[in-house]
Amino acid sequence: MKKIIIPIKGMHCASCAITTEKALQNKSGVVKANVNFATERATVEYDEAKIDQGSLAQAIRDNGYEPVLHETGSHSAPGQSMEHAGHEMSGAKSDSSSGSHLSHGGYVDRKGLIIASILVIPLVLSMFIMPDVGVILGRPAWLVLDLLAAWFLVGWFGRHFHHGTWNELKHRRANMDTLVTVGTGSALLWSTYALYAGRENEVYFEVAGIIIIFLLLGKYLEARQRMKAGAAIQALLGLHAKFAHRLKADGTTEDVDPNSLVVGDICLVKPGERIPIDGEVIEGATSIDESMLTGEPIPVEKNAGDKVYGATVNGTGAFNLRVTVLPGQTALDAIVATVEHALSTKSPVEKIVDKISSVFVPIVILIALISFIAWLLLGASFGDAIRHAVAVLIVACPCAMGLATPAAIMVGTGAGAKKGILVKDGSALEAARGINMVVFDKTGTLTEGKPTVTDVISAGGNDDTLLRIAASLEAASEHPLATAVLAAAQARSLAKLPVSDFSAVPGQGIRGVIEDKTALLGKPEWIFPVIGANDNPLINELRAAAKTVMAVAFDGKFVGLIAAQDKPKADAVEAIRTLKAMGIETALLTGDSQATAEAVAESLGITTVLAEVSPTGKADVIKSLQAQKKEVAFVGDGLNDAPALAQSDLGIAIGTGTDVAIATGQLVIMGGSPTKAAEAIRLSRLTFRAIKQNLFWAFIYNVIGIPLAALGLLNPIFAGLAMAFSSVSVLSNSLRIARRMK
């Protein structure tokens, strides 16, 4: 199975995207196809054993549109999770970069728009005065000038509309172009006949010509707004470094393409440069601006052994970097792949709009035909009946409906990426609108995830023996507490003992055999019943101080207690306060003891505590909250919290680096700041509010405009103006999301 993104040129409205999507889905070997009208791209999942990329491109051509095939830069692709720009397609290479092909404009450039505006001047004047400048072939010269201007405007400057109409007719379909061609063509042909027949009072050359100008202006502005809407995503694609200083065996450097680097290469990174690829600092120290990953402007200090990420910006220090990933597998590539995926999926509301759009144009044509016949039956002149029908055709705008949802998602996704919030699925932005409770995992989410041992209390007075047994068991564990115990043992220079028959009991503890004797480490509630020991009064005292307590047993006897503490993140209190201000309830969900969890929750201002829950039981807790009519967002690390993230109404995963690619959540927070959970929900609410506003304006244009036009209350020229700016208003409203998230 493979996935490919194919930019498509020539789609002019939502129905174009829908028919292209159906054409791809009908091909044998295509598992899933999605065509996004806002970004003008098709995302196709297919079985390469049954169909190749060339056949996919041909399917788009056969449907009447053109895949954008040309050479691309080495870093325009989203990464290894997708087929991308480096793959051959029909003898050329495909560009999967988000929105770059939208710059083609499609209908008219600025120069053409100026020329067309000059040509329309006599048509505009004809609406107010009719200058007497003589006669040509027995007809008023000014009307003959209007005829020539209108034919040139409709025939030449409107040719893209007519080309689209012809393309749709060949496939027995209709779209926005059909409405324009039929509308302006009808007005132009009738006016030409009326002038020839001496019925000068029934000519409407200005209607046809001015409508084309308005539509071209609308399309020109729409193209510019689309580029603005995709600017944040385009910025991601341009962040990769252009070269790397690779160290040679003799100690000198050579400048190479970052794509040529392999794991293990050593590169010199100079002050002020972009880091060429993900790696590890092996020599030197510096501070690095990682805002493109995390959205946080404060530089991060880096020393030997620290990870660094490609495309982040080095500060004032030079350092040597060891490459740890292959090109195309960097954190930035994972981010771009995530954004690409979000743009290639449709939210539930978008699917509904698609169904409406698919039947919209035929219904409008039917209404225009009924209006034309009705006006004739009511005694209107043939010219007036045509004028009213033209108004119906021109005021209808399926473009605005097609752009309403994807444009908002595109802007919202880009705005989130700039702030370190990655939207993995467009439906997440819709899901967040009703969230009234946010449940946080504790370790690594609200706390630093780096606990340190604070107390070593042995039952027999030998703290070193207690710590040596604990460290020997923890050496085989990956739990954060294991790191703390090992660090404490190392600080005392305690040698670890060999362990056999190691096993872990999820959510409880670990066991192993040391010197032929069973050793246990874990929750006191798990260990004490096993060895027949009584509760130690120190346990509650330690837990009340927000410490996690581990009991250690050896050879069936209680050896002692080890307490560790994981400090809350500096901005955790602010995160809880912000969510409360938004009217959202917060809760803490952890496997830690009730006393420890309550102590942490109290320090952060959280009132609901759900403690002593195993990793597998977290999903059940989320389900029980949902049964209480709560719409729950869960914030966790995306690994052991995967079931809870999947069960929640909105999963928000804490991710860093390439973990983004495997995070379970619908939203991914880079850098780990819990305050971004509130920002993510705010982003989601802003985006969905924009979608609702866009759909309102898209539909209101038609709900009001079409009846007014059919009743003869809307001049075709004003209908053209309304149609031209409906899409622009939808895009402009979507851009407000980015402004409000700054």
Per-residue HEC secondary structure of 525-566 comes to HHHHHHHCCCCCCHHHHHHHCCCEEEEEEECCEEEEEEEEEC
Where residue 322 falls among pLDDT bands split at 50, 70, 90? very high
Residue 436 one-letter amino acid: N
| Torsion sign across C-alpha atoms 244, 248, 254, 258 | negative
H helical segments located in 197-288: 205-229, 231-237
**Residue 101: CB atoms within 10 Å:** 17
**Predicted local distance difference test score (pLDDT) of residue 639:** 57
* pLDDT of amino acid 295: 66
pLDDT digits (tens, 9 = 90+) for 519-565: 999 999 999 998 887 778 889 899 988 898 999 999 999 999 999 98
At 81 the pLDDT is 33
Residues 6+ apart with CB under 8 A from 191: 147, 150, 202, 203, 204, 205, 207, 208, 383
d(C-alpha 343, C-alpha 685), whole Å: 18
What is the reported pTM?
0.71
Q: Could you say which DSSP state residue 217 is in? A: H
Cα–Cα distance, 388 to 407 (Å, whole number):
32
- Distance (Å, rounded) from C-alpha 401 to C-alpha 154? 25
Judged against a pLDDT cut of 50, whether residue 328 lies above it is answered with: yes
- The verdict on whether 441 is a catalytic residue reads yes
With CA atoms as reference, report the closest residue to 558 among 539, 537, 533.
Answer: 533
Q: Which of 638, 642, 625 is nearest to 585 (CA)?
A: 625
Segment 365-384 shows an average pLDDT of 93
- 83 band by pLDDT with thresholds 50, 70 and 90: very low
pLDDT at 638: 57
Query: How confident is the prediction for the chain on average, in pLDDT?
Result: 84
Q: Are 203 and 424 in contact (CB under 8 A)?
A: no
Query: β-strands 41-46, 30-36: how paired?
Result: antiparallel
Q: Sorting pLDDT into bands at 50, 70 and 90, what band is 72?
A: very low
Residue 598 has pLDDT above 50, yes or no: yes
Out of 95, 425, 441, 641, pick the active-site residue: 441
More confident residue, 411 or 246: 246
Q: What angle do CA 557, 558, 561 make, to 5 degrees?
A: 160
Q: Where are the alpha helices (DSSP H) in 66-204?
A: 110-119, 121-126, 141-152, 159-170, 176-196
Please report which residue ranges of 63-120 form alpha helices under DSSP H: 110-119
214, 363, 421 from 414: Cα distances, Å:
30, 35, 9
User: Binning pLDDT at 50, 70 and 90, where does residue 95 land?
Assistant: very low
**Distance in angstroms (rounded) separating the CA atoms of residues 145 and 136:** 10
Question: What is d(CA 495, CA 486) in angstroms, rounded to the nearest whole number?
Answer: 10
Secondary structure in 3-state letters for 323-334: ECCCCCCCHHHH
- pLDDT category at 88 given cuts 50, 70, 90 is very low
Q: How far apart are CA 531 and CA 171, in angstroms?
A: 79
Q: Which residues contact 465 (CB under 8 A, 6 or more apart)?
A: 458, 559
241: tokens are 């470094």
What's residue 221's pLDDT? 77
